[in-house]
Amino acid sequence: DAGVTQSPTHLIKTRGQHVTLRCSPISGHKSVSWYQQVLGQGPQFIFQYYEKEERGRGNFPDRFSARQFPNYSSELNVNALLLGDSALYLCASSFFSGDNEQFFGPGTRLTVL
């Protein structure tokens, strides 16, 4: 069975640009969560989506947005990129919202210059 997949694997952008990151959950999982991981730290929660609805949002500015599609895949969008947005963006899937056993993809490494 395929695990969580994310694309692209690496991305380089400049300040002010926007970026779209994509995630496909494990087959049968209906919930997708997004995390930001800065080097040397644990992941920080950004969003959780379940059945196409936002179920939770972390302490991130409105420049961050996301959505979930009918096939349960998800996109994370970040506008007006700042240098501080450089990080590994992780997607995790689980069967349902509130299911604490989350399974992670390999992440997208975003570098903002």
Partner 1 sequence: GQQLNQSPQSMFIQEGEDVSMNCTSSSIFNTWLWYKQDPGEGPVLLIALYKAGELTSNGRLTAQFGITRKDSFLNISASIPSDVGIYFCAGPTDSNYQLIWGAGTKLIIKP
* Residue of 21, 29, 36, 48 that binds partner 1 (CB under 8 A): 48
Q: With binding defined as CB under 8 A, does residue 84 bind partner 1?
A: no
Contacting residues for 80 by C-beta, under 8 A, at least 6 apart: 16, 18, 63
Q: With binding defined as CB under 8 A, does residue 95 bind partner 1?
A: no
The token duo for 78 is 């970040």
Q: With binding defined as CB under 8 A, does residue 22 bind partner 1?
A: no
The token duo for 110 is 């975003």
Nearer to partner 1, 43 or 76 (CB): 43
Beta carbon of residue 35, minimum distance to partner 1 (angstroms, whole number): 8
**C-alpha to C-alpha distance for 34 and 66, rounded to whole angstroms:** 9
Q: With binding defined as CB under 8 A, does residue 90 bind partner 1?
A: yes
For residue 16, count other CB atoms closer than 10 A to its CB: 10
Q: With binding defined as CB under 8 A, does residue 43 bind partner 1?
A: yes
Query: Could you tell me which stretch among 14-22, 60-68, 71-79, 97-105 binds partner 1 (CB under 8 A)?
Result: 97-105
Local structure of 83: helix, strand or coil: helix
Residues 89, 36: contact at Cβ < 8 Å? yes
Q: Which residues bind partner 1 (CB under 8 A)?
A: 4, 33, 40-45, 48, 55-56, 58, 90, 92, 97-98, 100-107, 109
